[in-house]
Amino acid sequence: MTGSFISPHGGYHNLLSYQKALIVYDATVYFCDRFYHRPDRTIDRMVQAARSGKQNIIEGSQASGTSKETEIRLTNVARASFEELLDDYRDFLRVQGLQEWPPGHPYTKRLRELNGQPGADYETFRKGIEHADPEISANMVMGLIKVTTFLLDRQLQQLEQAFSEKGALR
- Per-residue pLDDT tens over the stretch 65-109: 767 788 899 999 999 999 999 999 999 999 999 999 999 999 999
Q: Is residue 62 part of a domain?
A: yes
Q: Is residue 6 part of a domain?
A: no
Q: Is residue 4 part of a domain?
A: no
Domain count along the chain? 1
Q: Angle CA(124)–CA(28)–CA(152) in degrees, nearest 5?
A: 75
- Residue 165's alpha-carbon distances to 62, 63, 79, in angstroms, are 21, 19, 23
pLDDT at position 61, please?
Answer: 87
Q: Is residue 7 part of a domain?
A: no
Mean pLDDT of the chain: 89
Q: How confident is the model at residue 163 (pLDDT cuts 50, 70, 90)?
A: low
- Which residue segment(s) compose the domain that 65 sits in? 12-166
Nearest CA among 64, 59, 86, 62 for reference residue 74 = 59
pLDDT at position 126, please?
Answer: 98
| 27 CB-near residues (< 8 Å, 6+ apart) | 122, 125, 129, 140, 141, 144
